[in-house]
Amino acid sequence: MSTIKVIGIDLGKSSFHLVAHDYSGRELFRKHLSRAKLIEFLSQTPATVIAMESCGGSHWLARKCQSLGHEVKLIPPQYVKPYVKTNKNDYIDADAIAEASTRPSMRFVGVKTESSQVISVIQRIRSSYVKERTACMSRIGAILLEFGMSFPKGHAKMKVLFQWLADKKEPIPPMLMQELIEHHEYYSQLNKRIAGQDKKLKQLVEQSEEAQQLKSIPGIGDLTASQCLADISDANNFKNGRQLAAWIGLVPHQYSTGGKTTLLGISKRGNKALRTLFIHGARSILSRPEVAVAVFGEWILELRARKPFNVAVVALANKLVRIAWSVLSTKQAFEVRV
């Protein structure tokens, strides 16, 4: 029987620092290995617990370790920090990871599948295109403002930019017009790239039974469903829907002391992308009162009557997350109860 209880690994791009603990918590050894040597070492090590921070490259290595028979524990980096002793170096970090993984109350991150990571990559690339498109529109507006023209905001006007310029009948230097033409072509290319990413996500959602079940929930479309597949590796990692909502950051931020409970605005912890999408979904439902009442009944009317619109949106987003957790856990589509 191996005397190794856990191996903590501090991840790097090309070098990895390992610290092993025995069942008494004492350090057995420490190693500094390259990526190839690390895989070779782990393949020769008897099955044990491998602990790492959840960061870039951790999910790939976690799947690799699982294929070699090891149990993997991924820890959020902020939960490792309290266990770092004295000064910081890679071995101290690896030791802290190993120690943190043995705490009975420690929270861990589920290991993502390869398909989940691919969806996440598509989502991130799409998001980068959207940001660059917004920047492109802002640059065009700023350029025109320098020449005395205030260009209206929005994609509708951007698509008819040159018609708008013609209607203005303002003299434009030829070189400036050339720059505007090239930049508008770039804007059009970004639109096509975003549409291409949307098509990929739509195809992935159509092929996934879980995604189709999620889409049965009002306010959840292809983007939200695909983001759930990418970021929620297993709904069973969460005890209930409230834990998932807390992980997304849709529960009140608490600052309580001396027996006095103080609840503030939402915590905004955890997954920003999912939080944004669920809030957008909730807003779309509240903008159509007939749909909101048909699905959520008098609860939504009472909430809307006593709370500001944005507060009601967040409360509804919280409910949508809890419904999504139930759908993912039971593998059953959402049904409206009359």
Query: For position 2, what pLDDT does the model report?
Result: 66
Residue type present at position 168 = K
Longest dimension (CA), the chain: 85
pLDDT at 169: 84
User: Does the pLDDT value for residue 295 go beyond 90?
Assistant: no
pLDDT computed for residue 279 by the predictor: 93
| Gap between the Cα atoms of 313 and 26, Å rounded | 51
Distance in angstroms (rounded) separating the CA atoms of residues 66 and 157: 53
Q: For the segment 52-62, what is each residue's pLDDT rounded down to a tens digit? A: 999 889 999 99
Q: Find the mean pLDDT for residues 119-127.
A: 94
Residue 171 pLDDT greater than 90, yes or no: no
Closest CA to 97 of 63, 134, 72: 72
pLDDT average, residue stretch 281-308: 86
- Does 1 have pLDDT greater than 60? no
| Sequence-distant contacts of 96-99: CB under 8 A, at least 24 apart | 96/8, 97/8, 97/9, 97/10, 97/19, 97/51, 97/52, 97/53, 98/6, 98/7, 98/8, 98/19, 98/20, 98/21, 98/51, 99/8, 99/21, 99/25
Q: What is the pLDDT of residues 182-202, one digit of tens each?
A: 999 999 999 999 999 999 999
How far apart are the C-alpha atoms of 140 and 146, rounded to whole Å?
10
Higher-confidence residue: 68 or 88? 68
Find the range with the poorest average confidence among 65-69, 98-102, 237-241, 268-272. Answer: 268-272
* pLDDT of 338 above 70: no
> In the prediction, which pLDDT does 258 show?
77
Q: What is the pLDDT of residue 337?
A: 63
Give the pLDDT band of residue 50 (cuts 50, 70, 90).
very high
Percent of the chain with pLDDT strictly greater than 90:
63
Interval 66-74 mean pLDDT: 94
Average pLDDT, the chain: 90
| pLDDT band, residue 291 (cuts 50/70/90) | confident
CB count within 10 Å of CB 184 equals 17
What's the whole-number mean pLDDT along residues 157-166?
91
